Structures are given as C-alpha cells and as structure tokens.
Chain A
C-alpha cells in the first residue's frame, strides 16, 4: 500500500507522514480488539492435605480438586450413565487417568510445585488417583497424591507447595473451610496459606502473550511467583 502512495505522489512529504500516522492508528484500532488475555475458563475449588511419616517428614501432598458445574457437565457428556444418572466409576477412572497423564507434562506438572529453600523437590508418579461424581452438586472431583521422591523435614527451611495454572485457563480457589490441612504433622509444625496477589493487568497481558514453551524473563518470573496459591510449611 505504501508502494501505491510512493509511486503516486512523493511531493507532499508532510501529508504523507500525517497519512502514515493516521493509518497506523487505524490499524492499531482494528487490532486492539484482539489483545487477548487468557482469562480463566474453568474454576477449581481445591483442597490440600500435607501427609507426614512417623518421623515427621513430609512424604506426600494430596489434593482434591472440585471442578465447576459447566466443566463437569462437559466432562460427563457422552459417558454412559447408571440408573441414578451418574457415570459408572470405570468411566470416571479412565477420565482421571487421561487427565493425570496430561497433567504429567512438564509444562503443567500437575499445576503443583513443591520446593524447599528455592530448590524444587522432585515427585514420583501420582498415587491414589480418583475421580468422583458428586451427585448432590452435579460436580466432578479429582483426587491425587504427589509423593516426594525424598521425604523432607521442614525444620531448618520451610517447604512451600504452590498451585497455579501458568496459562490462567484454570482459576484455583482455596476459600472453602479446611482447604489446607496437615493432620499427621508433628505438633511443632505451622501451615500457612498465602492467597495469590491480584495480577496487575499489564503483567497479565504480557504473560498471556507468551507461548507455553516460551521462557519467562526474570521480572515476569518474579511476577508469576506472586500468582500462585502458596502453602508454607515450617516445623521449627
């Protein structure tokens, strides 16, 4: 299009610049509608249970995720139903296995990171995986445990469990009572739940623009750390 203009009349440089600026604004106006933000499309009410061994070491982190009704009905669609209108457990087990293998992808990593003093603690294959159809509320829930490959004491350095979907497709909430528990913890332990900070819009949009495989710049990495639901365990 610049070519048309260039060929036609180049003796009006001032007008050309004005025209150029005006068209850039027009293009921007056409494009702005598409500034995408990966707003949440599903909501999970989550619960975390920290599990300890007899010595008082943290051995695994169990989670219970309750999916919102809309997503639950979508997951249930097309499944056979029992007389009570509930999907048979065998079907739900299949779904749960599919989800767990998808969640095992390093990019998602069960949307969970367990770390101590800045080091990520590696976890083994998830255990106790179970999907349940909650008949009272028509919601699907998923339970699983992530076992630590090396159980840890949280006495010298606190252990942090962070939960978040880096793509913000899923919005987690830990607002229900008893959402974070540590029933088998030694008496000295303290568990604190830290709510994520509200994401500032500019950071949110920058994050939304980064492809999943992309690398976060240091300032974005710092920003995302405040976005996670954090459970901090310390046993001084």
Chain B
C-alpha cells in the first residue's frame, strides 16, 4: 500500500468517526428534546399560529405583556385601514404604518426567527453589515412566502382556511427540518470539529484538516480574522438560515392577505405584508446586531483574537451559538411534528 493510499484510508476513517459523533449527538439530542417538548394541540378556531409555547424569563414578562398589547392594538386596526385605503387611495399610508408597527412588535413577541438569526450570525461571526442584510432578507422572504402562499392557494386555487393551515404546517415542518440541519452543521463546524481537532492534537497527532482552518488549538490557533471568514456574505452559506427563518410565513401577514382578498383588494394585503416584513426585519436586525456586539465585547474582554483568552471566548461563543441554533431546531421541529400529526 502506497503512502498516499494509507493517508487516504486514515483520513476516511477519521471522517467516519466524525460523522458517527455527529450522528450520535443528533439522535441523543432529539430523544432528549422529544421527551420534554409538548406542543400545543390545535385550537378549535385554528389559524396558522406558532405551535410552541416557550417558557419565559420572569423579569421580561412585563415587557412582553406590553408588546402583546401594542401588537393587538395595531392588528385590530388593520381591517379598518384596508377598507380606508380601498375607499381613498390617499389613506394607503395608514395601512403601511400600521403594518410596519405590527411587524416591529410582532418580531419582539413570540416567534423564533430573531433568536435563530442572532445565534446564526454569532456562530458564523458575521460582520455587522452581513447580520443586518441577513435579517432583512430573511424577513422579506417571509413576507414573499406569505404573499405567494395566499396569492396562489387562496387567490387562484381558492382553497379554504383549513387547507391554508395545513400548507402552513407543512412549510413550518420543512423550515424547522432545515433549521435542524443548519444547527447540526454549525455544531459540527464550530463545536465538534474544534474539540475533535483539539483531542487529536493533544494525542500528538498533527493531522491538519486544511479545508477549514477553524479548529481551536490551544497553543497555536490559526483562526482567520473575521474579515476573512465573513467579509463577503456567502449566499451559498446563508440560504439555509434564510429559508429556515423565512419559509414559515407569519400568521399576521397571512390573515391580512386573506382579508384583503375578501375585500377584492389583494394589493393592499401585499403592501401590508411587505411593510410587516420590513418591520420584522428592523427588529430582527437590531437584535442580531446586539447579539453580535455583545459577543464581540466579550471576546475583546478576553484580549481579542490576538490573545488566547479572547480566542477561547470567541470560539466558545461560536460553539454556544451553534448549539443554540441546533437546540432551537430540534425543539421547534418536534413541536411542529407533534402538532402536524394532530392536525393533518
């Protein structure tokens, strides 16, 4: 056996070991979460709605309570605003402002897009600019999915609300399955690979995996600078995150689109859905940027990328954020899975 063949087989075996670890991790995490998650059963008056009740932190409840009140306040005026626009084109601004405000507050309330995106940008150490772009693109995709769904299914095929609920549930399942995959990939890249690489380097095995230079070695980490990692937004890398967030349309957008359709004024619904998407994008971008800033402050508190502690904190944050995306994925997917079994 030649030297290169030997190298190949060692490499293949180490790849197999890595994937085995990833697989065991996935299965264990799924089993654990499946036992703990309980999805809401379908409500008698079902509309496309979040399938999961997430527990909250006590000190934040006052704030979320207030957000819910504001959100309802804007939502309840949407029907009047659609009618006002239909009667008088100059009243369009009122619907747009309401929808934008609804989007801003909706994104602050229940919903997981912002947490996923925040964790994703921290895990990938995206630049501030890329974080903001991703937030707006994901929110825009979410609005476009709602417009396409209602436009085609309700506008052209004229399906009932019950069918719309089902389609939304399927979209949700696909989105959350994507999220699990995205999370698994991030965990592998930012948590498992560094640990595996480290364990090997401690055993004195100096095998370097040169397709990515991001394994965390204690003494001599050659982690690329953030500009190199994420200076240009890689759409190939980002589409998974965008779809995982955007594929599941927001219920408010679907409802306003259906209402506009019932008023034979679908364009108002399209405008409202886009304004909601913009509002959601603003909130998600702000939260993603906040998370990025916090993670940077924490890494620089340890001396930044030039110091071992700064690097360590940086790597740990990335790994933690990757785990967070993965756990959100499992949590949401199992809730949606149970929900869809009860509903479909």
Instruction: List chain A positions with a Cβ less than 8 A from chain B.
Output: 1, 3-5, 7-9, 12, 15, 19, 22-23, 26-43, 67-71, 73-79, 99, 102-103, 105, 107-108, 138, 167, 169-171, 201-202, 204-205, 208-214
> Is there an interface contact between A209 and B71, defined as CB atoms closer than 8 Å?
no
Give the contacting residue for A41; candidates B39, B47, B259; CB below 8 A.
Answer: B47
Judge whether B160 and A36 touch: CB under 8 Å.
no
Given A3-B195, A35-B56, A73-B263, 7 more A-B residue pairs with CB atoms under 8 Å apart are A4-B312, A22-B313, A31-B324, A42-B47, A77-B261, A209-B53, A210-B53
Minimum distance in angstroms from B76 CB to a CB of chain A: 7
Q: Is the CB of B218 within 8 A of A41?
A: no
8 Å CB contact of B259 from A4, A19, A73, A210: A73
B10 interface hit (Cβ, 8 Å): no
A15 / chain B contacts, CB cutoff of 8 Å: 302, 309
**Mask: chain B, 196-210; 1 = CB below 8 Å from A; 0 = not:** 001100100000000
Q: Is the CB of A214 within 8 A of B154?
A: no
Quick one: which of B45, B118, B154, B259 has the most chain A CB within 10 A?
B45
Are the CB atoms of B118 and A30 closer together than 8 Å?
yes
Looking at B137-145, B230-238, B287-295, the stretch in contact with chain A turns out to be B287-295
The distance in angstroms between the C-alpha atoms of A218 and B158, with both chains bound, is: 47
- Those of B293-335 within 8 Å (CB) of chain A: 294-295, 298, 301-302, 308-309, 312-313, 315-317, 319-321, 323-324
Please give, as numbers and ranges, the residues of chain B lying within 8 Å of A43 by CB-CB distance: 76
In this assembly, does B111 line the interface, its C-beta being within 8 Å of a C-beta of chain A?
yes
Determine the distance from Cα of A26 to Cα of B195 in the docked complex, in whole angstroms: 22
Cβ contact within 8 Å between B118 and A79: no
Which secondary structure dominates chain B's binding surface?
helix
Q: What is the distance, in angstroms, from B4's C-beta to the closest C-beta of chain A?
A: 32
The 6 closest A-B pairs by CB, nearest first: A35-B56, A39-B68, A78-B160, A201-B65, A36-B110, A102-B44
Query: From B309, which residue of chain A is reached at the shortest CB distance?
Result: A15
> Which residue of chain B has the shortest Cβ distance to A42 in the bound complex?
B45
Contacts of A169 in B (CB 8 A): 43, 45, 49
Q: Are B255 and A74 in contact (CB under 8 A)?
A: yes
Residues of B within 8 A of A77 (CB): 154, 158-161, 164, 258, 261-262
B211 interfacial contact with A, CB 8 Å? no
B79 contacts A69, C-beta separation under 8 Å: yes
Asked whether B12 is an interface residue with its Cβ less than 8 Å from the other chain, the reply is no
Q: Is B225 engaged at the interface, CB distance under 8 Å to the other chain?
A: no
Chain A residues with Cβ under 8 A from B89's Cβ? none
**A34-B54, A78-B154 known; A4 and B216 CB under 8 Å?**
yes
Q: Enumerate chain B residues within 8 angstroms of A138, measured Cβ to Cβ.
A: 262
A78–B163 Cα distance when bound, in Å, is 9
Q: Give A3's nearest chain B residue, CB to CB.
A: B195
Is B313's CB under 8 angstroms from A36's CB?
Answer: no
B240 within 8 A of A: no
In the complex, what residues of B have CB within 8 A of residue A23's CB? 298, 313, 316-317, 320
A211:B56 contact, CB within 8 angstroms:
no
Residue of A nearest to B111 (CB): A34
What's the least CB distance linking B107 to chain A, in Å? 8
Which residues of B have CB within 8 Å of A76? 262
Q: Is B115 an interface residue (CB 8 A)?
A: yes
Given contact pairs A29-B290, A36-B50, A36-B54, A1 touches B320 in the complex (Cβ within 8 A): yes
Cβ-neighbour of A73 out of B54, B61, B114, B262 (below 8 A): B262
CA distance A61 to B254 in the complex (A): 35
In whole angstroms, what is the CA distance A208 to B64 when docked?
12
A62→B29 CA distance, assembly (Å): 49
18 A-B pairs (CB sep. < 8 Å): A3-B195, A8-B312, A23-B316, A26-B320, A30-B321, A35-B64, A68-B79, A74-B161, A74-B259, A75-B161, A99-B45, A102-B42, A108-B43, A202-B62, A205-B56, A212-B40, A213-B38, A213-B41
A167 and B43 in contact, given A1-B191, A34-B54, A77-B154 (Cβ under 8 angstroms):
yes
Set of chain B residues within 8 Å of A36, measured between Cβ atoms = 50, 52-54, 56, 64, 109-110
Is A39 in contact with B115, judged by CB distance below 8 angstroms? no
Which residues of the partner chain A approach B258 to less than 8 Å between Cβ atoms?
Answer: 73-74, 77
How distant is the Cα of A77 from the Cα of B256 in the complex, in angstroms?
12
Contact B198 A202 (CB under 8 A): no
Rounded to whole Å, the gap between the CB of A63 and the closest CB of chain B is 14
A23 to B53 alpha-carbon distance, docked (Å): 25
Whether the pair A5, B61 counts as a contact (CB closer than 8 A) is no
Smallest CB–CB gap between B75 and chain A, Å? 8
**Residue B146, interface by CB 8 Å:** no
A19 touches B60 (CB 8 A): no
Instruction: Tell me the B32-90 residues at the A interface (CB within 8 Å).
Output: 38-45, 47, 49-50, 52-58, 60-62, 64-66, 68-69, 71-72, 75-76, 78-79
**Cα distance A205–B301 in the bound complex, in angstroms:** 35
A39 touches B160 (CB 8 A): no
Residues of chain A within 8 A of B308, CB atoms compared: 8-9
Q: Does B279 contact A (CB under 8 A)?
A: no
Give the complex CA separation of A9 and B316 in angstroms: 13
CB-defined contacts of B65 to chain A, threshold 8 Å: 37, 201, 204-205
